Structure 1
Amino acid sequence: MSPMPSRRTFAGPLLRDLRLRHRLPQAAMAARLGISASYLSQIEAGDRPVTPKVLAALAEAFPGDWAGVDPQEEAALLVDALAASVDPGIAGGEADEEAIARLVRQQPQLARRMAELHRAYRRSQEQVAVLDDRVEAGGREPGLLPWEQVRDWFHAEGNYVDPLDRAAEAIGETLAGDPRTALIERLSARFGVVVGTLAPGDGRMRAYQPARGRLLLDPAQPPETLLFALAHQLARHEFAEPIATIAAAAGPAAEELLAAGLTNYAAAALLMPYERFRAAAREVRHDIDRLRLRFGTSFEQTCHRLSTLQRPGAAGIPFFFCRVDLAGNITKRHSATRLQFARFGGACPLWIVHEAVAVPDRVQVQLAETPDGIRYVSMAKGLVKPSGSYTRPPRRYAVALGCEADQAGAFVYADGLNLKGAATPIGTSCRICVRTDCDQRAFPPASARIGVDPNNRGVVPYSFG
């Protein structure tokens, strides 16, 4: 391992700030850096210096995110230079840590130039990603459609709304006994709402009549769907004021959609109160079927709730979650991991979620690797929602939930996978994916120079560089 520059680096508070920004508990952060939780605690407390090995792990695990350190500091420069050396998007192999540390000590100006060039490269890749989004959106940026604004609002909030989540948790913990009965009784006692049923073939899943105080539900829906409808109605009444206040910030076009999304969020928090649900998830190693049976929720609702466990100081495992329809459109998406979805269009065709759509009611698992070398364990399941009538086809789609491979020990779906073995090479979008050997590529990267050899043809009819 490379020797550290002569000055010892104590950067505990900065390391702690970085961990909190990513909402990682110490154990998860330590696992990502390849050190023990006790060692990380000592570093954060200022009792131990940050070694070159830890700096190298930081550069690889959090590229471009070691912010807050004075850029003139040797430690910050070493991290930036190491980040440039391990970036898998740059061909030529990685430089060893000793050579980078020597460069920082002996040629700091050259090292800073190297770090600046790497930052410029990363910015250019981000601009290509924005271009890809705009192409997929038909040039609509910056005038996003209202539902896109709502989707991006939840993503920007980390898919966690603290005041709403805590308020819903407080009420959810008071709902004793059978949850359906408890919800019906609270709706009646506090808001005078009476629950009834819709006529067969009505076509609506639920209907609320404010003047009469009646909530009518479709009896053909599964029990968990009916339970969620009750929770949704209670959330509308209990949290009308905070939901209206938050939704007003979205502007007139998206206000009603955001209010509906926040109501659904609160309904999930009522049925799956944060601390109890988080503890249960850890206990069963995030086994979705066991969780949904315990809380009376659907497979999709349970997956979605797992992706919202990002409370500061009590965060769950960072998950990504998405829902994909038969056409490959991503209709829900959120990621607390480093995996990011394309904001428009579909997902990588090599991702297991597409196979899950075609084979419903069966859990599929996959070890995947993105172009930056990060590995993920994905679980996907195809779902069919009944319509209650032969004349209306059921809704078919798939949901996917996953985490980074270093969290696999807490994710039951990783059992049986060889985490050190071959992984499926996936990407975000063909327009920004740098892989040159993908047989499933739909079109070349937006920034690539395309070549066509009339004498030779591979699976993909062009080359690029």
Structure 2
Amino acid sequence: MASQLPPLPRRRLFEGFRLRDLRRRLNIPQASMARRLGISVSYLSQIENNDRPITDGVLLALVREFPVDAAEINGEGGTAALLRAIDAATDSSVPADRIDEADVRRGIEQQPLLARRMVALHDAYRRSQEQLRVLDDRFDTGSGDAAPLPWEEVRDWFQAEGNYIDAIDRSAELLADALALDDDNVVRAFEDRLRLWHGVRVVGAQGDGSELSRFDEGARTLALNHALPPESRAFLLAHRLVRYEFANEMRLVIDRAGLASPAARELLSVGLANYAAGALLMPYGRFRAAAYEVRHDIDRLRQRFAVSFEQACHRLSTLQRPGAQGLPVFFCRVDMAGNITKRHSATRLQFAALGGACPLWIVHEAVAIPDRILVQLAEMPDGTRYVSMAKGLVKPSGSFTRPPRRYAVALGCEEAHAADFVYADALRTGGAATPIGASCRICPRLDCDQRAFPPAGSVIEIDPDRRRAVPYGFR
């Protein structure tokens, strides 16, 4: 007999203690949890005290916000099935009328096999779109059918891991506790640990200042550029320290990664050390709690943890611990030429699709305006809206003969999470959004004046008697 979707919960669900335990385990204040669930604080308090049941609407919000943890409260799984069906029925990227939630619910109850088939087809559609994005990314890099380059292997591996490495992250949290790190003693604590536990002395770098650091294994010295700002000095010390402290953990991760080339394994080793250094400077639990407390205000976070603006942004993109996820954000770094040099997304926005190519995205403007935060409400062709923050940064080279490094970092979340993202306060969420798109090769927008070329597979239409910003149409 063919399997059916689980029945939707119809009992009065008094599981407030589980919801309260979930909130406390994730270290989320009642007010923040209430905002994320779309209910009042008093209503949430009544649910947690079992004075009111958890309704289907609250369960749906729980599944959306905490997909793994909500299973503890709704063991039957009916709400998760309903959410998948609603997602398929309301996906704005599908060229057909949407189905409202009440009709989806009736469909699951009356035609469960048809509903399951709809969800399966939608999953297949999503996979095909992702494959198209990958092909577009391959076209951008010129790699075609060739084996991926080492940096592509490592980038894709981190993306597949959700940009979270549990064994290393937890080890970093334990070491941070053991060192009793605070804002005033980070550099001293790292230098002492390196000297006393690993026989490494920290010295000043000699030369023209082109190197940030140099480690001499024979002399057991780590030379640091004297012009480094405090946060960069702390990061480089942490990077060297974790290569000793977490050598076994990193070796196991690399062995299990299954990367094809030796160069990719070496790059992954460096990437894991960078990851561990960030986790040591910004321990998971404390950093996550602080992020929600200040509503992901990067300047307040970087001051509290004595890190750089970019380091704080990057760390937010790694908060994917099962059972204690952070705000789902995307993060990227873009250079002056529009190349994305770092990227990760825990949202539906995937950079293989965006590719840094859309000129309407605020990050490109930010590159040219250093030390100023720009915000934007943007909408992708599938209707998903994002609140984006971007800031241009300049890293001095230390010499007139070498130009400084100029780039921008961007951080954003879906509009539904605007209440937990302080940068949304500068925008009128729910109002008009900038229509950004994917790479022009796969962007379906018909009315974009910024289009560089028509999408692949389209039929070009040219009217010599009409002049527009883009000299062609397509269908």
TM-score in terms of structure 1 length: 0.83
Amino acid across the alignment from 2:254: A
- Distance, in Å, in 2 between the alignment partners of 1:186 and 1:117 is 55
Q: 1:339 aligns with which of 349, 352, 356?
A: 349
CA distance in 2, matches of 1:163, 1:181: 26
Aligned residue in 2 for 1:418: 428
Aligned ranges for residues 225-374 of structure 1 at < 5 Å?
225-248=232-255, 249=257, 250-251=259-260, 252-342=262-352, 345-374=355-384
Unaligned 5+ runs, structure 2? 1-6, 72-76
- For structure 1, the 5+ residue unaligned runs are 1-5, 68-72
2:389 matched to 1:379?
yes
The TM-score, its normalising length taken from structure 2, stands at: 0.81
Query: 2:229 corresponds to which residue?
Result: 222
Match of 2:3 in 1: none
2:35–2:419 CA contact under 8 A, matched in 1:
no
Q: Is the 8 A contact 1:31 1:406 kept in 2?
A: no
How far does residue 127 in structure 1 lie from its aligned partner after superposition?
Answer: 3.5
1:406-465 deviation line (CA, Å, top 9, x unaligned): 221121111131101111111232222222111112222223222222222322222222
Q: Which amino acid counterpart does residue 285 of structure 1 have in structure 2?
A: R
Q: Quote the Cα distance in structure 1 between the aligned partners of 2:305 and 2:405.
A: 23
The 2-side partners of 1:217 and 1:77 are apart by 54
- How far is the alpha carbon of 1:98 from its aligned partner? 5.2
SS in 2 for 1:383: strand
Cα distance between partner residues in 2 of 1:301 and 1:25: 22
Change (3 A) 1:385 1:143: same
Once the two structures are TM-superposed, the CA of residue 103 in structure 1 deviates from its matched residue by 6.2
> How many Å apart are 1:75 and its aligned residue?
8.6
Percent of paired sites with the same residue:
59
Taking a change above 3 Å as real, the CA distance of residues 343 and 169 of structure 1, as seen in their structure-2 partners, is: farther
Whole-angstrom distance in 2 between the partners of 1:238 and 1:92 = 55
Number of equivalences: 443
Describe how 1:59-458 pairs up with structure 2 within 5 A: 82-97=86-101, 118=122, 121-141=125-145, 143-173=147-177, 174-176=179-181, 177-248=184-255, 249=257, 250-251=259-260, 252-342=262-352, 345-458=355-468
CA displacement 1:301-348 (0-9 Å, x = unmatched): 111011111111222111110000000011100011111111794342
Equivalent AA in structure 2 for residue 380 of structure 1: A
Quick one: structure 1 residues 110 and 458, their matched pair in 2 at CA, closer, same or farther if it must change by over 3 Å?
Answer: farther
CA distance in 2, matches of 1:235, 1:259: 11
Aligned amino acid, residue 354 of structure 1: H
In 1, Cα distance between equivalents of 2:458 and 2:90 = 22
Distance in 2, Cα, partners of 1:91 & 1:345 = 24
Q: Secondary structure at the match of 2:274?
A: helix
Give the aligned residue type for 1:206.
S
Structure 1 residue 373, shift from structure 2 partner: 1.6
Residue 131 (structure 1) shift: 2.6
- 1:356 CA displacement: 0.4
Distance 2:108 2:285 in 1: 46
